[in-house]
Amino acid sequence: MRSIYLDYAATTPMDERAVQAMLPYMTQQFGNPSSLHSFGRAARQAAAAARGKVAALLGARPQEIFFTSGGSESDNWALRGLAEANRERGRHIITTAVEHHAVLHTCRRLEQQGWRVTYLPVDREGRGSLASLRAAAAADTVLISVMLANNEVGTLQPVAELATFAKERGILFHTDAVQAAGHIPIDVRSLPVDALSLSGHKLYGPKGIGVLYLRRGTAIAPLIEGGAQERELRAGTENVPGIVGLGCAAELAAAELPEEMRRLAGLRDALMDGLLTIDGAWINGSRTQRLPGNLSFGIAGLDAESLLIRLDLAGFAVSAGSACSAGSLEPSQVLTAMGQPPAQAGSAIRVTLGRFTTADETAAFLAAVRSIAGTRKDK
C-alpha cells in the first residue's frame, strides 16, 4: 500500500532541484565563507547568490536577509532581539492568542523578565482585528508580533492593516511568515513589517535553515556573538549547503507561485466541499481568507486521535494540529482561542496539500474519511 502524504504544513519534501543545488557544497565546494582562498570565495559567492534569491522572494534587499537555523530561531531572535534593542522606548509587547509556540513561549519568557505582554483575542475564524489592536496599544508599546498565516487552521491575518497601524504609531512589527512564505505573495516593499520569519523546510528546501528579514535601519540585539557572520549579529560558520538549498527553493517558489496557488486552492476547495457533505462535518478557520493548501476540519462523533490512527492505517499522513505540539493531549490553543469547546477542538484534523499532491490523492482521502465516518455508532 502506497502512503499518501498530506502534512505539508509540518514539513515539505525537498524539491529534487534544491537537493542537486546543495550537493556540490557538501563535497567539492566545502570551503568556509570566511576564508580568503578560492574555496572560501566559492562558498561566499554561493551564499551571497542565495541571499539574493531569498530577498527576491520577499521583495527585500539582500542586506536585509539574515540566515538562521529555522523559523523558531527567527521568531525567538525577532522578539528577544527587538525587545532588548528597543527597551528604552517601552516594555510592552502585543501578540495574538493563536501564535506559534515559538512566539508564545518567547513572550512568556519575556514576561518573566519584566515585559508586559497583551494577547489579542481572535474571532471564530481565527482572525484578529484592528479594533482590538487599537484598544491594546499603549504609550509604552514597543513591539507587535502577528503571524501572517496560522499553522493549524490556515487563516490569514490582516497583517497589512495591522502593520500599517503600527507604523503610524511608531511601533515595531514582526510577522511569523513560516507557513506563508513561498505559498502566497509577500512583498515587504508594500507590506510595512519591520521583521519577518521564514523556514526552509516549509517551502521544499532543507531543514536546519531559516531566515529573519530585518528592514534596513531596524535595531536588533545580536543573537550569537563571537564572529563577523551575518553582519556581526549571528556569529558562527554559515551552513552553506542549507543556504544554497534554501536559495534554490525560494527561486522555484517565486517562479511557480501563481499557478501553484490556483492549483492547490482548487484541490482544497473540492476537498472542502466533499467533506461538508459528510453528516456532522465542519471546517475550522476562514472559508476564504486561508492558505491555498490548508484545510482543517472535524466530524461529530470522531475524535482526532482515533481518526488519525485509522487514516494512518489506511495510508494517509495527516495531523491533528501543529507538528510542534505532536503528542500533546491538550486541546489546541488555537481552536480554543477561536471559541471552540474542548470536545470540538479535540476533533480537529489538519490536511495540508503541496507541490506533489494530486487530485487522485485528495479524492482517495475523501473516500477514506467517508468510509470511516460511516462506521460511527452515533451518527
Task: Give the model confidence (pLDDT) of 251-278 as tens digits.
Answer: 999 999 999 999 999 999 999 999 999 9
Backbone dihedral region for residue 217 (phi beyond 0: left; psi -120 to 50: alpha; all else: beta): left
The CATH number of residue 303's host domain is 3.90.1150.10
How does residue 343 score in pLDDT terms, banded at 50, 70 and 90? Answer: confident
- The last residue of one of the domains, among 252, 274, 298, is 252
Of residues 326 and 106, more confidence is placed in 106
- Packing angle of the helix pair 38-58, 240-275 (nearest 10 deg): 30
Please, what is the Cα angle at 97 between 191 and 93, to 5 degrees? 65
How does residue 321 score in pLDDT terms, banded at 50, 70 and 90? Answer: low
Residue 377 has pLDDT above 80, yes or no: no
**Are 224 and 298 members of one domain?**
no
**Are 162 and 200 members of one domain?**
yes
Per-position b or e across 322-350, b if 16+ CB within 10 A of its CB: beebeeeeebbbbbbbbebeeebbbbbbb
Which residues have CB under 8 Å from 346's CB, separation 6+?
303, 304, 331, 332
**Are 142 and 118 members of one domain?**
yes
Q: Are 58 and 175 in contact (CB under 8 A)?
A: no
**Are 295 and 235 members of one domain?**
no
Residue 179 placed within a domain? yes
Residue 341 has pLDDT above 80, yes or no: yes
- The last residue of one of the domains, among 252, 276, 309, is 252
**Are 238 and 366 members of one domain?**
no
**Are 319 and 354 members of one domain?**
yes
**Are 109 and 235 members of one domain?**
yes
Q: Among 129-138, 206-215, 327-336, which is the least confidently predicted range?
A: 327-336
- Mean pLDDT value of segment 194-202: 98
Residue 323 has pLDDT above 60, yes or no: no
The one-letter amino acid at 345: A
pLDDT score at 324:
54
Domain carrying residue 305? 4-12+257-373
Percentage above 90 pLDDT, the chain: 93
Residue 326 has pLDDT above 60, yes or no: no
**Are 151 and 86 members of one domain?**
yes
- Mean pLDDT value of segment 190-215: 98
The CATH number of residue 51's host domain is 3.40.640.10
Residue 104 placed within a domain? yes
**Are 262 and 235 members of one domain?**
no
Residues carrying an active site annotation: 324
Residue 328 has pLDDT above 90, yes or no: no
pLDDT score at 376:
79
User: pLDDT, tens digit, for every residue of 215-232?
Assistant: 999 999 999 999 999 999
pLDDT score at 100:
97
Strand, helix or coil for residue 66:
strand
Residues 299, 160: Cα–Cα separation, whole Å: 34
Per the structure, how many domains does the chain have?
Answer: 2
Residue 53 placed within a domain? yes
**Are 172 and 52 members of one domain?**
yes
pLDDT score at 37:
96
Q: Are 232 and 41 in contact (CB under 8 A)?
A: no
How does residue 331 score in pLDDT terms, banded at 50, 70 and 90? Answer: confident
- DSSP assignment string, 71-98: HHHHHHHHHHHHHHHTTTT-SEEEEETT
- The last residue of one of the domains, among 218, 252, 286, is 252
How does residue 378 score in pLDDT terms, banded at 50, 70 and 90? Answer: low
User: pLDDT, tens digit, for every residue of 25-61?
Assistant: 999 999 999 999 999 999 999 999 999 999 999 999 9
Q: Among 83-87, 237-241, 298-302, 328-332, which is the least confidently predicted range?
A: 328-332
Residue 378 placed within a domain? no
pLDDT score at 57:
98
Residue 165 has pLDDT above 70, yes or no: yes
Residue 184 has pLDDT above 80, yes or no: yes
Residue 379 placed within a domain? no
**Are 313 and 222 members of one domain?**
no
pLDDT score at 1:
67
Mean of the per-residue pLDDT values of the chain: 95
**Are 216 and 338 members of one domain?**
no
